[in-house]
Amino acid sequence: MAKKFRNFIDGKWVDAASGKTFENRNPADWSKVVGTFPRSGSEDVDSAVRAARTAFDQWRLIPAPKRGDLLRKVGDIMVAKKEELARQMTREMGKVLAETRGDVQEGIDTAYYAASEGRRLFGHTVPSELSNKFNMAIRVPIGVAGIVTPWNFPMAIPTWKIFPALLCGNTIVFKPASDTPATATSLVEILLEAGIPDRVVNLVHGGGGEVGMAIVGHPDVDLVSFTGSTAVGKKISEVASNTLKRVSLELGGKNAQLVMDDADLDLALEGVLWGAFGTTGQRCTATSRLILHEKIFDKFLEMLVNRVAKLKLGDGLQKGVDVGPCVNEGQQKIVQSYVEIGLEQGAKLVAGGSIPKGKLLKKGWFFEPTVFSEVKPDHRIAREEIFGPVLSVIRTRSLDEGVRILNDTVYGLSSSVYTRDVNQAFRAVRDIQAGITYINAPTIGAEAHMPFGGVKQTGNGHREGGWTVYDFFSEWKTIYIDYSGGLQRAQIDNYDR
């Protein structure tokens, strides 16, 4: 019998108010049920928000270094449970075990980084323009934070949001992706084990329309952090504007790796294989386009096709597997539809392009690592986010043209340039329109202590990770202390003429 999971609301593990549930299954073998979860609705969100609002009054008063101490304990527990969490995650969303271990490690790194930030929530002291007056600005908690996260990094991305939010003194209503609710439950259990007080964190399972949008539109939710598609992000921005709540959006990408004719081709090959087919291409930073200088185009394409043919598909828990399944049947169908679009628009299929027919692979939502050549910059497969193992190869005659092709998209998340020429590298860093640029490294591989996010329709300007995320989860408060004993007037012309 499948394990039954519950929401965590108001300090208790509870079913959805409606009593409805949904199943979560292993995408590598759809016959295996991970568990059943509450199919929650707005009533459950209301209960969670009320609990978070009640808890905020006490949680905000706990000194930030003490909140950091609790997050350090969270990191310690995650270290002890790393393998258990990684295996659960692979069963739930499919990526290979080496990657899910990395996903957990990202959460561990984020916990320890957040713990140290408890002693570094720096403010500013600034000289006053008036005598006997002291000016300073400090950071204060905001309130109830709505956290809405995707399935492709079911541990790392929630920790990117939840840990800084808690460290800054906010309370949480957390809606994880319906494809990865078990990992989210484990994270909440760890937070509670570490000593995070009841009601400070509330977990509500369910669909984006029923739960996610209820959180976004709730008048007592003060800020929302969302990672997902650009289309959903636009809807969230629209709904959140009705209550003028603060919103952080980390959205889609159409990332490119540009390989110049002087590049180390073996290194560039390793980079694009990892960037395009790691996590089965299901990353917002995945390498979806490969822009090759015409002088090395044919040679590099041959190298790429030969290596792609050797990638092994399978259950991510098995040794030797390079590429796991798509997360669900719907995502597999989307990938298949884009292969058909690529062929219709005249691109040449040089690797993959099909749902594999092997007996074991038929049990899951697998798709062959796929490469198109002869792709034009205006082809749909070169412009639209696919979120699967499909790589579009484009030809360029120069660095400037390659950068123009790279920038020719509504997105601007990650980018990569391979060259041995330091002058070309710095020109690319200057001219590429993206929130992240790698030189001689793939488009994937964010580090927990660095800002993460993009430009254009990849987001709304906020950043996850690093020191910058703490500005999103805290409010600046300006304080003036006048010890002159008399009325002093600022914003009045006090200068003699």
For the chain, counts of helices (H) and of strands (E):
14, 19
Q: What's residue 297's pLDDT?
A: 98
Q: What's residue 299's pLDDT?
A: 98
Q: How far apart are the first and last CA of the chain?
A: 85
List the structure tokens of 94.
């499919």
Q: What pLDDT digit, counting tens, does each position of 435-486 carry?
A: 999 999 999 999 999 999 999 999 999 999 999 999 999 999 999 999 999 9
Rounded to two decimals, the pTM is 0.97
Q: What's residue 358's pLDDT?
A: 85
Element (H, E) at 239: helix 230-240
Q: What's residue 344's pLDDT?
A: 98
Q: What pLDDT digit, counting tens, does each position of 422-436 carry?
A: 999 999 999 999 999
pLDDT tier at 497 (50, 70, 90 boundaries)?
Answer: low
List the structure tokens of 126.
């600034």
Q: Fold identical between 7-251+459-478 and 255-439?
A: no
* Residues 334, 124: Cα–Cα separation, whole Å: 50
- Give the catalytic positions in this structure: 250, 284
* Residues 448, 156: Cα–Cα separation, whole Å: 9
For the domain made up of 255-439, the CATH class stated in words is: alpha beta
Helix/strand/coil percentages in the chain, nearest 5: 40, 20, 40
The amino acid present at 378, given as its one-letter code, is D
Q: What percent of the chain has pLDDT over 70?
A: 99
pLDDT tier at 275 (50, 70, 90 boundaries)?
Answer: very high
pLDDT tier at 496 (50, 70, 90 boundaries)?
Answer: low
* Residues 311, 302: Cα–Cα separation, whole Å: 15
494: pLDDT strictly greater than 80? no
The answer to whether residues 148 and 175 touch, using CB atoms and an 8 Å cutoff, is yes
Superfamily of domain 7-251+459-478: Aldehyde Dehydrogenase; Chain A, domain 1 (3.40.605.10)
> 393: closest CA among 283, 322, 287?
287
Q: What's residue 490's pLDDT?
A: 84
Q: What's residue 305's pLDDT?
A: 98
Q: What's residue 491's pLDDT?
A: 78
140: pLDDT strictly greater than 70? yes
Q: What pLDDT digit, counting tens, does each position of 220-263 carry?
A: 999 999 999 999 999 999 999 999 999 999 999 999 999 999 99
The answer to whether residues 4 and 35 touch, using CB atoms and an 8 Å cutoff, is yes
Looking up tokens 């699967």, which residue turns up? 388
For 274-279, what is the mean pLDDT?
Answer: 98
How is the chain split into domains, by residue range? 7-251+459-478, 255-439
If DSSP codes are grouped into helix, strand and coil, which group holds residue 452?
strand
495: pLDDT strictly greater than 80? no
Q: What pLDDT digit, counting tens, does each position of 76-104 carry?
A: 999 999 999 999 999 999 999 999 999 99
Mean pLDDT of the chain: 97
Q: What pLDDT digit, counting tens, does each position of 337-374 carry?
A: 999 999 999 999 999 999 998 888 999 999 999 999 99
If DSSP codes are grouped into helix, strand and coil, which group holds residue 306?
helix
Q: What pLDDT digit, counting tens, does each position of 101-125 carry?
A: 999 999 999 999 999 999 999 999 9
